[in-house]
Amino acid sequence: MLDILPMLAADAGGIPNFAATLPLAFAGLGAGVGVGLVGGKAAEAVGRNPSAFGSIMVMAIIGMALAEAIAIYGLIIAFIK
């Protein structure tokens, strides 16, 4: 696996590949916004109904995981290009 590092370092010296970095940037931006919205709304919901903390936390974790999956998809696209 470490044999590929010199090839990657040699390839990184040229013009940056924006076709690979833009999808990753937008996916990271979308995931960050999504996680922020989910976390904020979960905190707001717990503030309104503290007894529902358990079910709200489960739904918030699922929502954050789905939002982070978008960033992983962007990372996969960046590696493919």
Whole-number percent of the chain with pLDDT over 70: 79
Give the Cα separation of 35 and 74 in Å (integer).
16
Question: What average pLDDT does the structure give for the chain?
Answer: 83
Res. 22 pLDDT band, cuts 50 70 90: confident
pTM: 0.69
CA angle 51, 69, 45 (to 5 degrees): 20
CATH number of this structure's domain 16-80: 1.20.20.10
User: DSSP string covering 53-66, please?
Assistant: HHHHHHHHHHHHHH
Tell me the pLDDT tens digit for each residue of 1-13.
567 766 666 655 5
